[in-house]
Amino acid sequence: MKRNRIRTAILLAVALCVKGYVMAQHLPDGMQVKARVGYSIGGTTPIPLPATIRSIDAFRLTPSLMVGADAWLPVGRQWGVSAGLRVENKAMDADATVKGYHMEMVQGTTQLEGIFTGQVCQKVKQWMLTVPVQATWQPGRKVTLKAGPYVSLLFSRGFNGIASDGYLRQGDPTGPRVTIGNDKNTRATYDFHGDMRRVQLGVGAGVDWQCWQDFGLSADLNWGLTGIFPGSFKTVEQALYPVYGTVGVFYRIK
Amino acid sequence: MIAAILTLCGSMALTSCIKDERANSECDILGAWVEGDAYKQYFTDESQMRPTVLYGSNTVQFTVKTLSSLPAQIPVWFEVTPGATIEPASGTAHDFRRGPVTYTVTSEDGKWSRQYEVCFIGSQLPSFLFKFDHYETVTSITNSEYHSFYEVDDAGTRWDIWASGNMGASITMPAGSGPEKFPTSAMTDGASGTGVRLQTIYGGDLAKMFGKPIAAGSLYLGSFDLNQALLNSLMSTRFGQPIDKDPVKVTGKYKYKPGPEFRDKDYNVVPGRIDEGDIYAVFFKSRDKDGNDFVLTGDNVLTSEYIVKKARVASLPATDEWTPFEMSFNEAEVDYDLLANGGYKMTLVFSSSKEGALFEGAVGSELCVDEVEVTFKDIVTE
């Protein structure tokens, strides 16, 4: 069902671009419209990384795609302002070795909370509609530098993982010790997607380089300022911020 | 290729942010031993000079021939969590004849500590008439409370010889559960004084997730190693206490009621199958062929090559009255020299579901026991 929602959102975004292309012909003079696609890579992570994370052992690519469009209006000779709409996924799939890492599992009416040392496999999925509003500055005819805040509305959330190959001390480091294995019945799984925030805020900065006719390349860095969980959610000890870099191509419709 | 480069960049960016490792916060005794030929004579066997220390236990217990013959000062050595410190220091001598000595282990980061009682005890079970009148209420980390049985000898010394799975159940049961919710608990209406109530329970949603949906009530002579409860649950039940007598039979009183629906380890109902309680005793060699201290575990408690003889009830028909049971050990040769020198152990096991160790049984099955007595052969010493 979630997959359907994502597909619908992407189709909607593409439809909007096409519609935008048609509408763009009637837009006010001076306004520029760009359609863009991109691929993001990054992490949803505590910043800085806590000392409880001892190493990152694997970092797998995820379907962190971005489709969107934005409109730009000049303000003066080199300056301008742009606003856009994006459908994007900020996902993560990474393995880490941890030592003394606080974790909690909840299953029905029972929960197990404690300090874990071992392997953690963490998966994050965040499909969202993002509206960036950015100030732009053009040092030359083909290059646009841009920066500004964004707001995102999540429509598909995922946050789950597996703790394995280690041990848990229930409660605190002196608590009962339970060895954790790595098969279905001996490892610990957790899933907190229902606790994730629906709305995220952040800032982004990037560059557009219109390198061939109406086509161009872009690079952006988006830095989340709100943790992916509300402050009242204490199960995941550190606040996790989505920090993603996006490389993409754009086409100037108008 | 691009994917590989992106992956590499991502991991490198993250890896470059790894902070220095923090000092350890754990503070466990990992091993304890007495060393030196001078002290060998006090132990029935060299393997007793280095007892197993379980993470879940706050006591370290050395078993000696007799407490009264101990010298005034014995140095005990410890291995603790790397970086942790122990006070009094490892290797210092103390007088253990008048009871346990308290040691404190402090973690490397200085923020945590654990207290242990180190004691020396004589090698024999104090009494073989078990009335189950002594138990304490243990409070778990999630504020659940459960009962833990022990024996007290004529001199008033406490013997922690009984174990149950309660500690394991406390990990996954709902926070704040009371003693009567636990698989093993004391009942006030025993055959005389208090008795033991063993019940098969649903272990909770977490336990089910771990493939251990039910927890049978159990009580046995031995110890419980919580550390193994999830990874290798059959290894968490460690059966046996030292014994220097040759057992013949076990008698006692019981009540039994099977639960309504027998379930397999996947928690599916097995139609038509009726749960059964179980009581058995096993007398076995206390050292393996390499001379190491040996205990039976859930995987071999009835099948180990070190078993000398065993006794098991044929059946426990359902009854809600206190009903006598009796079981006799099979005939087997016992080496009385070895018996006098700590060569044997015995366990006595009660369980509300026969297949409880495999997480099969009926929720609601209840076995009550009281007034259990082991009788022994008269040994004529030459």
Nearest residue to A239 (alpha-carbon basis) of A59, A49, A62, A93: A49
Q: Which residue, of B107, B122, B137, is where some domain finishes?
A: B122
Pairwise CA distance, residues B41 & B48, whole Å: 11
The tally of domains found in chain B comes to 2
pLDDT of residue A16: 66
**Is residue B106 located within the same domain as residue B193?**
no
Residue span of the structural domain in which B52 resides: 24-122
**Is residue B107 located within the same domain as residue B133?**
no
Pairwise CA distance, residues B46 & A137, whole Å: 82
B18 pLDDT tier (thresholds 50, 70, 90): confident
Residue, of B17 and A158, whose pLDDT is higher? A158
Nearest residue to B179 (alpha-carbon basis) of B143, B147, B201, B149: B147
In degrees and rounded to multiples of 5, residue B26 shows phi and psi of: -90, 155
CATH classification at residue B173 = 2.60.120.890
Strand blocks (E) in A171-240: 177-180, 188-191, 199-212, 215-224
**Is residue B229 located within the same domain as residue B143?**
yes
Strand partners, B74: B94
A18 pLDDT tier (thresholds 50, 70, 90): low
B124-151: average pLDDT: 92
pLDDT of residue A22: 64
Least confident of A17-21, A33-37, A90-94, B42-46: A17-21
Q: Return the residue of A nearest to B174 by Cα.
A: A110
User: What are the pLDDT digits (tens) for B219-240?
Assistant: 999 999 999 988 888 999 999 9
Where does residue A162 rank: exposed (0-12), middle (13-18), buried (19+ CB within 10 A)?
A: middle
pLDDT of residue B134: 96
> What CATH architecture is A2-252?
Beta Barrel (2.40)
pLDDT of residue B382: 45
| Percent of chain B residues topping a pLDDT of 90 | 75
Q: Which residue, of B122, B154, B172, is where some domain finishes?
A: B122
Q: Is residue B5 part of a domain?
A: no
CATH classification at residue B35 = 2.60.40.2340
Q: Do B175 and A111 touch (CB under 8 A)?
A: yes
Pairwise CA distance, residues A164 & A119, whole Å: 5
Q: Which residue, of B103, B122, B141, is where some domain finishes?
A: B122
Q: Which of A107, A108, A173 sits opposite B26 (nearest CB)?
A: A173
The answer to whether the beta carbons of residues A150 and A222 sit under 8 Å apart is: yes
Testing the interface with B: which of A112, A120, A164 to mutate, by most B Cβ within 10 A? A112
**Is residue B250 located within the same domain as residue B334?**
yes
Testing the interface with B: which of A101, A185, A241 to mutate, by most B Cβ within 10 A? A185
Hey, is the C-beta of B334 within 8 angstroms of any chain A C-beta? no
**Is residue B136 located within the same domain as residue B267?**
yes
Q: Is residue B15 part of a domain?
A: no
A247 pLDDT tier (thresholds 50, 70, 90): very high
Residues in chain A: 254
pLDDT at B109 > cutoff 70: yes
Residues in chain B: 382
Average pLDDT, chain A: 89
The answer to whether the beta carbons of residues B59 and B117 sit under 8 Å apart is: yes
**Is residue B223 located within the same domain as residue B289?**
yes
**Is residue B79 located within the same domain as residue B179?**
no
**Is residue B118 located within the same domain as residue B146?**
no
Q: Do A111 and B212 touch (CB under 8 A)?
A: no
pLDDT of residue A20: 63
Question: Which B residues in the span 186-215 are in contact with A, Cβ-Cβ below 8 Å?
Answer: 204-212
Q: Is residue B229 part of a domain?
A: yes
**Is residue B97 located within the same domain as residue B177?**
no
**Is residue B316 located within the same domain as residue B189?**
yes
**Is residue B200 located within the same domain as residue B172?**
yes
Nearest residue to A106 (alpha-carbon basis) of A193, A169, A191: A191
- How far is C-alpha B277 from the geometric centre of its chain's CA atoms? 20
A117-132: average pLDDT: 95
**Is residue B111 located within the same domain as residue B209?**
no
Hey, is the C-beta of B227 within 8 angstroms of any chain A C-beta? yes
User: What are the pLDDT digits (tens) for B30-85?
Assistant: 999 999 999 999 998 888 899 999 998 999 999 888 888 889 899 999 999 999 99
What is the residue extent of each domain of chain A?
Answer: 2-252
Q: Is residue B128 part of a domain?
A: yes
Q: Which residues of A touch B231 (CB under 8 A)?
A: 178-181, 186
Q: Is residue B299 part of a domain?
A: yes
A121-136: average pLDDT: 95
Size of interface A-B (CB pairs under 8 A): 123
User: What are the pLDDT digits (tens) for B86-96?
Assistant: 999 999 999 99
Q: Is residue B16 part of a domain?
A: no
A127-155: average pLDDT: 95
The answer to whether the beta carbons of residues B37 and B94 sit under 8 Å apart is: no
B259-271: average pLDDT: 94
